[in-house]
Chain A
């Protein structure tokens, strides 16, 4: 398969499309057939849990493969080097908006956060603008969007993207206004500026389609265990957690639930694939949308490992400000949704 993708990417893409559609259309009948085959009693807790699991896992994997493929192609037009050129010397606000949008489409892995930070700051990208990028890039990603769209519908997915952008833009803007440049570790300024990395060589359409397949192989290969565990936990909650428990704990009436959700969410480390199916199940048991959204954003957008990595380049006051502002933004968004929706 990977050999075929390397040699005939365009042909493979054309051949995959009808197979994908056929698989997607057969999801419901196959799941129903499976439940019947096992001879499970209809409408019992365990039947519902099994049905949820055997339907959702392949559905989400299929959606994920398709979206990751197209996002992979889109991303082949963007690189951190190019994004940096676009952001050099940008003013606040305009720069924050642009950086947050570029954060969605630029390929980013939190293990590269430090070299990326240095590359941006050394090239004269303002600190606040750099932070907008660093906040948006992990929080708004294709995996989160696909899962939200697949499990809740496109309205919730767009709501998530919109709020994520607002948080990234405003947090970066505030950090920029606070003038915290002195809290960047001193050694960062002393890094010799090497000659521009490598040049982006122009890619053919064939190369870009191949990049799409590489992305599917990479992302789906990395994310599927989280997804299976997440959906299994979600299925368990669906089948067995009593309706009212979550309404009491995470419902609209519990005012403390939003900050509590964020406090629990920040140190938790998972990716979107693991956390969203769980959140879906919590919602169906009466958790409020704002609280659930806040929990999800704090797990995905603010992670302890990333904060620890960034500590190498940021002094403590700046790290704390960064975490505080983003966490505060998430809490506000959580309350807003609980009040408005």
Chain B
């Protein structure tokens, strides 16, 4: 599983990154977490709000800092779906 956090380095993006890592840790899932700060790459995902959360190249959220519980839900759903 590869995970990307899209955002220019503002507070919200860092919080989302932290929470994503926390969710991964709690579930014991190993994944590459990459922080994407380049605007050109961020824009190529078609989102208009940061931070964005991308799992396996699919945008799962934009413009919200999801709570850890919600991220865990999404991760589990993606894993069983894949």
Contacts and interface: CB of A to CB of B under 8 A. Distances in A.
B49 A80 contact: yes
A120 to B, nearest CB: 8
A197 B48 contact: yes
A115 B59 contact: no
Interface in B26-82: 39-40, 42-50, 59-63
Interface in A179-193: 187-188, 191-193
A112 B50 contact: yes
Given A84-B48, A193-B46, A115 B10 contact: no
Contact of B46 (A112, A114, A187, A195): A195
Contacts of B8: 111, 114, 309
Contacts of B63: 79-80, 107, 112
B50 A118 contact: no
Contacts of A62: none
Q: Which of A84, A115, A187 has the most CB of B within 10 A?
A: A115
A188 B42 CA distance: 12
A206 interface: no
A12 B4 CA distance: 35
Contacts of A116: 48-49
A88 interface: no
Contacts of A261: none
A120 B39 CA distance: 15
B59 A197 contact: yes
A112 B40 contact: no
A177 interface: no
Nearest to A110: B10
Interface in A131-160: none
B48 A115 contact: yes
A310 to B, nearest CB: 11
Contact of A115 (B12, B47, B60, B61): B47
A130 B39 CA distance: 18
A312 B49 contact: no
Contacts of A111: 7-8, 10, 12-13, 50
Contacts of B60: 198
Contacts of A109: 10, 12, 49-50
A138 B62 CA distance: 19
B45 to A, nearest CB: 6
A326 to B, nearest CB: 22
A187 B63 CA distance: 23
Interface of B: 7-8, 10, 12-13, 39-40, 42-50, 59-63
7 contacts: A112-B50, A114-B39, A115-B47, A115-B49, A116-B48, A194-B46, A197-B62
Given A109-B10, A118-B39, A118-B43, 7 more contacts: A80-B49, A109-B49, A116-B48, A116-B49, A119-B47, A309-B8, A313-B39
